[in-house]
Structure 1
Amino acid sequence: MLTTDRSAARAPVSVPTARRRVPPAVAVAGGVAALVVCAALSLALGARSIPLPTVIRALTGSDHGPDATVVTGLRVPRTVIGMVVGGALGVAGVVAQGVTRNPLASATTLGVNAGAGFAVVTAIFVLHLARPVEFMWFALAGAAGAAVLVHALARRPGDVDPVRLVLAGTVLTAVLASWTTALMLASQRTLDEARFWLAGSIADRELAVLVRVLPFVVVGMALAVVVAPSLNALALGDEAAHGLGVPVARIRVLGGSSVVLLAAASVAVAGPVPFIGLAAPHLVRPLLGTDHRRLVPACFVVGATLLLAADVLGRLIARPSELETGIVTAFLGAPLLAVLARRTAR
């Protein structure tokens, strides 16, 4: 007995230590550098690779050859649109996870993207729309309707169950996907117009489409910045947030509105690109912690980087053809969702 006690006394004591995080300035600089690299690759790589000096001369206006025309006329709009769409999806994801207190929440898993996509395909089927610039209001209506329906399905007396939110979003996504497929099979014209858009892509998009949806992105981003401090309190639970003076219901409405606006704008431009909003917050939190005042701008940068990286990868995989960005993100994001679901269960 004495020997055991002495052995225990000599045994090293394990003291839990806080995870050492990267200084915010270093993390931000790294994220911006990664975004710049992905933007440069987006301008240089494609069906035909263009040397970086030629890209720089095209951007400065000192080169007007065929390669420069490809850069300024096709790849610059594509890159700018990819940055805005990816950033919007990243912010929508972190706000969705903060509002629902569920690490699996995003515009994809909550059915918001599916609602926007179904509404746009319905508009193509009924109104014979053909241009993405015409999709915004239908995407907004579909996203808002899906968000309200998922919230209603997940609501319980006095609270909203975070687990039921994702379950309701998954069920609604499956239902809307089947309805969308039925509309496309009922009309060859709808199938031709919608199938590539539904795959999720920023190819052949004009800056006029981005200009049309930019006000919605700006308002959605502004709402995300406004609710960010309150999301920190909301993470403690509704009762604790109430005790700290946070208007929980109002914050959920404003945060939900931010997610709907950002997701609808993204879907209107690029189609339903999955998993960007799910992945971005999980990449940022280990570096910057859980303060949403830092997470919101950081997720914009990371979301933009992820989408541009996926778009460049899609160009290189099937060269000289291209693989749609949404297919690449779905292929890479599905294993991520499985890992996150397993970690959340533990």
Structure 2
Amino acid sequence: MIGCGAIASQYLATIPSLPSIRLQAVADLDHRRAVAVAESTENIRAMTVDELLADPDIDTVLNLTIPAAHAEVAAQAIAAGKHVYGEKPLAADTASARHVLDLAQHAGVRVGCAPDTVLGTGIQTARKAVDDGLIGRPISAVATMVTPGHERWHPNPDFYYVPGGGPLLDMGPYYVTALVTLLGPVSSVIGAASHTRAHRIIGSGPRIGESVPVSVDTHVTGVLVHDSGALSTLIMSFDAVNTRASNIEVHGEAASLTVPDPNYFDGDVSIYTLAGSDGGWSTLPASAGYLGAGRGYGLADMALTPAGEQHRANGQLAYHVLDVMESLLRSAAEGVSVPVQSTAERPKAVPLTSLSSLAVP
């Protein structure tokens, strides 16, 4: 694992339970962070980045660095002959992401990327409802993420407000990946964006009260046109205070679904059918997805996928999601509809499964 920041604790809580993963070493530019993780975790070594990449016993790198470093660290891992699974986004821009995928293809190694939350029972149960025809032909979706800003709780929020950050590139991967999982790839986008504050004030930690400059749009909205013809409306904000809207709604000719927060693995899926509208909303039982999932299940899924098959949280899907988001920002800047140049296959559905019950290949 390279990068021992805030997100690392969530992976460290899950990895010991994954049958296909054994964490051997951690590294961080601040070596004290790596030492702290190693000292609090059994059988883990603290190493420098160069030492970790050179270790022949390590076959995969979990890249938990800041977004601006994702592509560079991934390229270094690939050059060392290692598979790489990274936090989202795949890179700060599509050019860097394309370079990572090209390097991996040439080296014959796998690239995986968060979010893997779409592999849990929440999004997968909703997907199964769509695939089983419970809503009829899908027409549209609405995805909403509203928060007044991560600086209120994060002690080092600087990277949220520079290129590679912002509400779209930070939280958008969860929502766009969920929309692609539910409705398929996106062919074009229409966007608009705003930038309301030039500085943010850190609200917690040793830097409390410090001002952080903002150089990205902090409220982004738009429409994604899926290949299927379905239209998804996206609202991503670090400016607004709160919302009572569902995180994701999917509407079809026969029914509507409310879909749980794609930042989490589980949650209730509710359906309101045209035929049975007098009965109101009803909750669907969990019928698909990895049970009890947590951060790192995408990495485990990658390790369990046989050679020659595509793992679910794969690099091409992450590239398409990044392309969608980058196209949306370009549309907002230019005031025109922008075609999305890439595409991706919907990953294989996840049957209702306990990952711990799967055999290691």
TM-score range, shorter chain: under 0.3
Which TM-score applies when normalising by structure 1? 0.27
More strand by share: 2
- Structure number having the greater helix percentage: 1
Higher relative contact order, chain-length normalized (CA < 8 Å, sep 6+) = 1
Give the TM-score normalised by the residue count of structure 2: 0.27
Return the index of the structure with the highest Cα Rg. Answer: 1
